[in-house]
Structure 1
């Protein structure tokens, strides 16, 4: 490594750590045992249907282009010319923004084609690849590369996709490719970038997707999770498989989830891969799926009858020789809830309604209280209630300071701000601060000051993480984990992942200063290459994260 490259890495690491420390200043002081809510922006101009946290602590958000004009103008007199748009052929408003966490500001971005109900993944270099959408956007690839100035914006590549992708799901793979699976009336999958050694003229047919489609199309946005053996867990409707995407081969079908009620759009439940522990010689994987709606809910909602959503969650270990579902019961029914991994390894379930389904005005009884689920004890804890309902087309992502950013909610075919509707379109942004951010934990809360890997971590690479803490307890109270930020839309956080790193030991190096020696992930199947949030927990309380690129 030459001197210039080394200097650039040091500057980048220092800047990212500075950003993370600044971001933590926005944590609200009004804490109880159930966490705290904070309004960040009353009006960002768009409804945040899709969200992705980027490596420079900015969040890209977008909705769709055929809503009509948004509440945010494009800068410099720019306009989108789209003769195929069903609302406006000339549109001078933005339908995407870039939100800066430390400054709590945002700026408009330009999308040219319809991103409605699309999908996304971040490449190992930090570029967001966003796929598909509706109408003129269904075959598009769009790319957004984060930058430190005001110059970055969307780039679009027409007709790159082999099949129309509307309501499809993406997953980053161990080799850095992205697999794009399914979509409305699409029983196939394809890859980005295209592999020149494979057949470029057609996508790969997957019978499972056709078999799991019913008249309500309950297999849209299938749940995808990359397992430690490199294969995919795919869940659609009520069924799930272990899938070898390289051989186009179903290796195993798992038992149906008990109850036979669908969990995918429009019976929109949510799913998460529970934290992977890289300390174990054979890494175990466990999937959790929560909420959804009974089979008849979508049709009944269309006729004005709103059936109570599901109260159940299912957990399954696809890495077991004979996997079975273990069922849990939530304190309340929920459909359209977002499941996110918190730095503690707990799962927050946030947003959604208690009756009905996804779809235009098909949900009722907004659920305002998030739940935090503790996988080790299998218990749910109810959190402080939000003041605003987040229903259809809402979204949420984890931030580097440990807060959960929440936005969106537009259950209408167009923007509708009328007080005469059940749920007006919401253009605000809020943050939920879980209980671990309470000031009462400041004595045991660590702060990462530097790493010997200088923001770049290799597989099985040893790295020392220097941290300070006022009241150090013991090495047994320290844990280090990587979190892959998600692309969240329609109640599924694509590519979300947590890996608990192998902790070699903790060394005291000065007054209130320690370093934790950890080993990088054992394989790209455990953690695909890319940018991760690195959190250090002391006494169960997480630091603000620093960014590391896993190479």
Structure 2
């Protein structure tokens, strides 16, 4: 039976195939940098929501930001604020609109969000947990605004909101679980974990012991959801596989390398490497950090060279062992962001020192791309992007956008906002790094998804069930033999770690559809370069917890712009 495809779905494809491809930024061999906006707030924390807006925020207890409240907005009055207890009329959170390159202040954060954490619920709401001082045990909610409610759409928090968390969570890590709730792990002095929302089962509402953290490091541990539903937890230089449902350590992994510290404040980074269709294996990569003693040295003004090594481990292997690899240059406080094609971008940070106020002096070299599928020794490639990025030191962050760029923000290596008389002024800008797959030379190979399509607001166009199939219609002038579809969870990024980040390669079959266009009473043959992909969604929530993901068609290593899908 021939397919009847309405012309509306094919209009974007026809434009791509008939003309000259997607307009791409001019760049060098290693992509490009582009300044976007000065948003008035330093991006210590960032989260992309499914409305294509980024929630960016700092801390509230250090004085005024450079972004005033809108006229007529009551000032924030918090008598527990250590800097401005009489009132603060500046914003400490921003909603950045990716499509329009605009931003607006968010005004309803009251308690302190310094060094906090977060995750996104299955319905797309950002849940922000913990912080410092009066924010230790707070939970704040930020919905995905629709555009019609911008005047009222803001954080949900009031001065007298009760404490929700059972323990102080400063420097904690969140991970979304297969049931859509979150586990909150660690925090300064907290060798424990808890859940949000509070479970009504035998778990109860309190905290649960995690002695491993007390033996290693409780600050921002690297937490990844394994394909068996257990948690891979890495702290300092060691890791365990942990069953949070029983509170039992399933296994203990070897020490990484020579035992150099990798988590905060020595501040390496980590990713769960891309999962294959119906995976039976999972691997984790940990890169960068600082040598033993670097934190004490930095406190007396001596900045030790950062580590150049990474450790890669197959966490599902009964005889799991670390394989040590070497980056092109040293890096501490760097961010690792998984790209739509399964590669990993490593950017931001420093060549020396550790995380902390004025505890580093040399910005890291430019971005590095890590290609997991290459042979050992051929996985890293230093980039030489066009443009002049700003140094991104302590308190910087990064995340993947739906158009394939990496948004970077933040960098405030000082106790307060400082713009003069220092080596690294507080950075209030956001920039975009366009990897080389967005270079104009790749236009002919860049797929364009025509159906389901992205709406003008960026809202999802597909809702899928576990184990179901999804049909995509896409076009490409020059389609190679290696076509894949990937599914990427947007991360909550802060302090060098993208919490909740994961990418899955999906089982995909690509065909040339047999059909015609229907335009009123007229039929037309499908144009050359139109393809159909039948995609099998993950079978279970241990592989992809319920919620919103970005879906990409990847031609070789050239990805399309993504579309939002919701899986449940």
The two structures have a TM-score, normalised by structure 1, of: 0.92
Partner in structure 1 of residue 176 of structure 2: 172
Q: 1:37 aligns with which of 22, 33, 37?
A: 33
2:412 to 367, 388, 410: 410
Which residue in the other structure is 2:356 paired with? 359
Q: Which range is displaced more, 137-146 or 195-204?
A: 195-204
1:376 paired residue among 355, 373, 376: 373
From 293, 297, 301, the counterpart of 1:296: 293
Which of 103, 108, 116 does residue 106 from structure 1 map onto?
103
Alignment correspondent of 1:325: 322
Note the C-alpha offset of 1:74.
1.3
Contact kept, 8 Å, 2:510 with 2:531, in 1: the verdict is: no
Q: Which runs of 5+ in 1 are unaligned?
A: 1-9, 18-24, 214-218
In 2, Cα distance between the equivalents of 1:200 and 1:462? 37
SS of the residue 1:88 aligns to: coil
User: 1:505–1:516: 8 Å Cα contact kept in structure 2?
Assistant: yes
Aligned pairs for 1:131-170 (under 5 A) are: 131-149=129-147, 150=150, 151-156=152-157, 157-170=161-174
C-alpha contact 2:268 2:333 (8 A) present in aligned 1:
yes
SS at match of 1:210: helix
* Matches for 1:412-451 after TM superposition, within 5 Å: 412-418=414-420, 420-451=421-452
Q: Does 1:537 align with 2:554?
A: yes
Give matches, 1:152-231, under 5 Å. Answer: 152-156=153-157, 157-198=161-202, 200=204, 202-213=206-217, 219-231=218-230
Look up the SS of the partner of 2:513 in the other structure.
Answer: strand
Aligned ranges for residues 67-78 of structure 1 at < 5 Å? 67-75=62-70, 76-78=72-74
What secondary structure does 2:297 align onto?
Answer: helix
Q: Which residue of 1 aligns with 2:245?
A: 246
Q: Distance in 2 between matches of 1:160 and 1:444?
A: 50
1:305 is aligned to 302
Aligned ranges 1:444-483 → 2 under 5 Å? 444-451=445-452, 454-473=461-480, 476-483=481-488
One of 53, 77, 81 as aligned partner of 1:81: 77
Once residues 167 and 243 of structure 1 are traced to their aligned partners in structure 2, the CA distance between those partners, rounded to angstroms, is 20
Residue 490 of structure 1 is matched in structure 2 by: 495
CA distance in 1, matches of 2:22, 2:209: 48
Q: Aligned pair in 2 of structure 1 residues 250, 80: CA closer, same or farther (>3 Å)?
A: same
Q: Is the 8 A contact 1:67 1:414 kept in 2?
A: yes
User: Equivalents in 1 of 2:466, 2:114: separation in Å?
Assistant: 37
1:442 offset after TM fit, Å?
1.0
CA separation of 1:437 and 1:309: change in aligned 2, threshold 3 A? same
Return the index of the structure with the highest Cα Rg: 2
Change (3 A) 1:27 1:405: farther
- Per mean C-alpha deviation after superposition, the further-off stretch among 539-548 and 380-389 is 380-389
- The corresponding residue for 2:263 is 264
* Distance (whole Å) between structure 2 residues aligned to residue 79 and residue 129 of structure 1: 24
For the Cα contact (< 8 Å) 1:451–1:463, is it kept in 2? no
Aligned match of 1:6: none
Q: Deviations along 1:475-529, whole A, 9 cap, x unmatched?
A: x321001000000000000000001001134233421211100111011001111
With over 3 angstroms needed to count, the CA separation of the structure-2 counterparts of 1:26 and 1:349, relative to structure 1, is farther
Matched, 1:53 2:52: no
Task: Map Cα deviations across residues 380-419 of structure 1 (whole Å, 9 max, x no partner).
Answer: 111136431000000000000000001100000000001x
Q: 1:27: Cα distance to partner?
A: 7.1
The whole-number CA distance in structure 2 between the counterparts of 1:54 and 1:244 is 29
8 A contact 1:51–1:60 mirrored in 2: yes
CA distance in 2, matches of 1:113, 1:165: 13
Match of 2:113 among 108, 112, 115: 115
Matched residue count: 520
Superposed structure 1 runs of 4+ greater than 3 Å apart: 25-28, 198-201, 451-454
| CA spacing shift, 1:271–1:422, aligned 2, 3 Å | same
Partner Cα separation in structure 2 for residue 200 and residue 413 of structure 1: 38
Question: Distance between the aligned counterparts of 1:170 and 1:73, measured in 2?
Answer: 30
Partner of 2:518: none
Q: Distance in 1 between matches of 2:128 and 2:170?
A: 12
Of residues 505-514 and 123-132 in structure 1, the stretch that sits farther from structure 2 once superposed is: 505-514
**For residues 9-39 of structure 1, what are the alpha-carbon distances to aligned partners after superposition, in whole Å with 9 as ceiling and x for unaligned?**
x9xx99xx9xxxxxxx997632111110000
CA contact (8 A) 1:278 1:522 kept: no
Q: Is the 8 A contact 1:535 1:542 kept in 2?
A: yes
Any stretches of 5+ residues in structure 2 without a counterpart? 1-5, 14-20, 454-459, 515-525
TM-score by length of 2: 0.89
